[in-house]
Amino acid sequence: MPIQLREKTVANTMRVVGLISGTSVDGIDAALVDVTGDASRLAVQTVAAATYPYPDALRSHILQVCGGAALALTEFAELDEAIARQFAKAALQVQQGQAPAQLIGSHGQTVFHRPRGATQGADWLVPPPPDDAPRLAPSDPAPRAELAYSLQLGRGDLIAHLTQIPTVSNFRAADIAAGGEGAPMVSGLDVALLRHPTRDRCVQNIGGIGNVTVLPAGDRPNALIQGWDTGPGNSLIDLAVERLSAGALTYDNDGAWARQGKPSLELVAEWLQQPYFRQSPPKSTGRELFGAAYLEQCWQAMAGRSLDPADMLATLTELTAASIAESYRQCLPSLPAEVLLCGGGSRNHYLRQRLQSNLAPAAVLTTDEAGVNADFKEAIAFAVLAYWRFTQTPGNVPAVTGARQAVLLGTLHTEPLLGLAHA
């Protein structure tokens, strides 16, 4: 007999766990939230939130895989499940002492992201060759991938099984199948919670990679919502800090090290000429481009100018700030009144200061100041996306991802519901 799922029933309030580990691989962000309403009248109350670091060996393995290390299929399955187990643990821990969640939304751990239209083969993984390098003849263009490809590990069915809570995962696939980038995915939440009635805003997440949602003021209802990945967030800074400290540090706390240096504005201006920064949205990227190989090229250029470690970090921090500001100038008719930061990079006060300088006269704030926790906005977003999947509400913003249409996002793993139905 078919199982009756009550997916369409919108509970007055639904308690949902949102889980994500981003491109920094710094740990699993978990948020326990109460969600009410539909996309146009959404209300979200955060009950609890925490970050659960990966065990060191698992983090190293994930970083190796993200960096291109080969995996046998058995190892792939084991890694997928090891990540799912950590996510399930995080989901249970964040609920401790609280009334239990009815649903989990798990983004999983991104290990690979190839944007739409990337050249097939590995050409797109590294920065373009110098101008005098031989190029393909125009009659022999490299084939291009028709659809984006994005892989998140930590399979949802195991999370559902271990927690006994229905779980939505694999959020990016449906947008990609509809011709979208599968990124950024959080713009729907930004639209629902952070649009200001009279002020144009940009919501800028600074994780490993940066991404923005452009929110025209509510009194301009027909103005276009836009969004794109801006390029490196903390990824290059983190890699450089690790290298400069011989592994002793993983990030530049508060930007204190970079603050002691002087950025090479000439190098930053040169790097901003690279194709990703000049490409029009929709566009997405990842550590595949802004990772170790990219840093190596920057490193050689910085060493060629005899920059000391603090100057190097100041220059890489400036690249993040300037690439964000430059993309706004390229893609928007004017700068917004406010830029609301979130993600770990919003904790780097030197980076914030450089953003303020690059974005003046826009006010640079954090989403905290608009009532949405800046450290956990991405985790909250995946709780809300799961809620939208459960209530049959499309979650992508096609103008942002480039998808042909709005679609339901995510796969709902219902094993716990099936268990209840048979009980």
Ligand X SMILES: Nc1ncnc2c1ncn2[C@@H]1O[C@H](COP(=O)(O)OP(=O)(O)OP(=O)(O)O)[C@@H](O)[C@H]1O
Which spans of this chain sit near ligand X (rule: CB under 6 A)? 20-24, 26, 205, 207-209, 234, 238, 251-255, 343-345, 347-348, 378
Q: Kindly tell me which of 95 and 235 has the beta carbon lying closer to ligand X.
A: 235
Alpha-carbon span 281 to 331, nearest angstrom: 8
Q: How far is the CB of 206 from ligand X (least distance, A)?
A: 7
- Which does residue 414 bind out of Mg ion, ligand X, none, counting CB within 5 to 8 angstroms by kind? none
- Which does residue 20 bind out of ligand X, Mg ion, none, counting CB within 5 to 8 angstroms by kind? ligand X
Q: Kindly tell me which of 372 and 417 has the beta carbon lying closer to ligand X.
A: 372
Alpha-carbon span 214 to 85, nearest angstrom: 35
Q: Kindly tell me which of 101 and 206 has the beta carbon lying closer to ligand X.
A: 206
- Which does residue 200 bind out of ligand X, Mg ion, none, counting CB within 5 to 8 angstroms by kind? none
Q: Give the E-state strand segments of 138-193 in sequence order.
A: 149-153, 167-169
- Which does residue 23 bind out of ligand X, Mg ion, none, counting CB within 5 to 8 angstroms by kind? ligand X
Q: How far is the CB of 287 from Mg ion (least distance, A)?
A: 13
CA nearest to 220, candidates 361, 337, 368, 379:
337
CB–CB of 119/31 below 8 Å? Answer: no
Q: Kindly tell me which of 231 and 344 has the beta carbon lying closer to Mg ion.
A: 344
Amino acid letter, residue 327: S
Token pair belonging to 40: 């146009």
Which letter does DSSP use for residue 233 in this model? S
Q: Kindly tell me which of 150 and 414 has the beta carbon lying closer to ligand X.
A: 150
188 SS3 class: helix
Which positions lie near Mg ion, rule CB under 5 A?
A: 22, 24, 26
Alpha-carbon span 230 to 211, nearest angstrom: 5
Q: How far is the CB of 209 from ligand X (least distance, A)?
A: 6
Q: How far is the CB of 134 from ligand X (least distance, A)?
A: 36
Q: How far is the CB of 76 from ligand X (least distance, A)?
A: 22
369-394 b/e with 16+ CB inside 10 Å = b?
A: ebebbbbbbbbbbbbbbbbbbbbebb
Q: How far is the CB of 111 from ligand X (least distance, A)?
A: 12
